[in-house]
Amino acid sequence: MKRYNVAVVGATGLVGRTMLKVLEERHFPVQELFPLATKKSAGKKLPFQGQEWVVEELTESSFSRPIDFALFSAGASTSAQFAPIAAKQGVLVIDNSSQWRQVEGIPLVVPEVNPEVLDGYHGIIANPNCSTIQCMAILRVLRDAYGLKRVVYSTYQAAAGAGVKGLHDLENGTTTTFDVPLLKNVIPRIDVFLPDGYTKEEWKMIHETQKILDLPELPVTATCVRVPVDYGHSVAMDVELEKDFLVEEIRRALASVEGLVVKDDPSNLVYPTPLDCKHRDTIFVGRIRRDISRPNTVHLWCVADNIRKGAATNTVQIAEAWLSRNVKEA
């Protein structure tokens, strides 16, 4: 099997370190690793495939050498500056920030849902928002079987979504990242408020859902909330369908999807929680029931580790999907 030179930008951060773990766990064919980060982190050593790799400072010349893939997780401003430089050098960039998600012509990918947009493509690829990612395979099943009429999200997002500082605030009751303490609290704001009263995080979910599912006119709304959980986002989904359904049919259809686990037996108090998904790549779904207030509408509850499937793992899966669809040796 051909092996590839891979750069990880933001390698010392929470998601960057997890990317290294996922690359190793999934046996991605890495020849040379280039861990890149800020000047402050340069010189640190990171373990990967039985070796210690020295972190280099990210500069404009970082990609002027043979690099095949660059996995970015260093924030939107860093991606805005350096991703085009890498792409111009022929590097396939997979970016975990919000910088490129809504740019026309740049694929926004969840491999279980829309891998076909990778066919013949080379350049910058966007990784969706963590909360969006965990809902997409579920919505694809519903779209394909029944048609989608409207989606309502209510999220319960973990502290790890705000990085190491978010976890620190949760553990210590501080406000390094959050406006108010997260410990013993919930915060109905993620990202900045916009003039319409929605937050930027809520609009991310709205627009990304429409783009990934290729339904630009689909009515979607969201309320995004930070909760005192370390890892694992939860999302309550209220989905209005074009056709009627049987709940058991939906359970069976979801259970057939690789990477999805249906955990839904209310009579025996079986339902998913963030502890089920912590440090795992599996998406769990449960509380599947008919909405008694609207026709053809189903309620679902899903949980996933926002650092793994919601970020690092989906990024690596995009690289795997690109290889399988564009390289014969893969």
- Active-site residue among 130, 135, 224, 302? 130
- Active-site residue among 224, 233, 277, 302? 233
CA distance 237 to 151: 7
Say if CB 16 and CB 8 are below 8 A apart. yes
Looking up tokens 């997890």, which residue turns up? 18
CA distance 99 to 25: 28
As a dihedral over the C-alpha atoms of residue 302, residue 148, residue 252, residue 245, rounded to 10 degrees, the angle is 120
Count of other CB atoms within 10 angstroms of residue 58: 25
Say if CB 182 and CB 161 are below 8 A apart. no
Query: What is the phi/psi pair of residue 306, to 5°?
Result: -70, -20
Q: Which residues have C-beta within 8 Å of that of residue 256, sequence separation ≥ 6?
A: none
Say if CB 209 and CB 220 are below 8 A apart. yes
Tally of CA atoms within 13 A in the half-sphere of 55 that contains its CB: 23
Distance of CA 79 to the CA centre of its chain: 16
233 labelled catalytic: yes
Looking up tokens 């694992």, which residue turns up? 232
As a dihedral over the C-alpha atoms of residue 182, residue 185, residue 189, residue 192, rounded to 10 degrees, the angle is -30
Q: Which residues are catalytic?
A: 130, 233
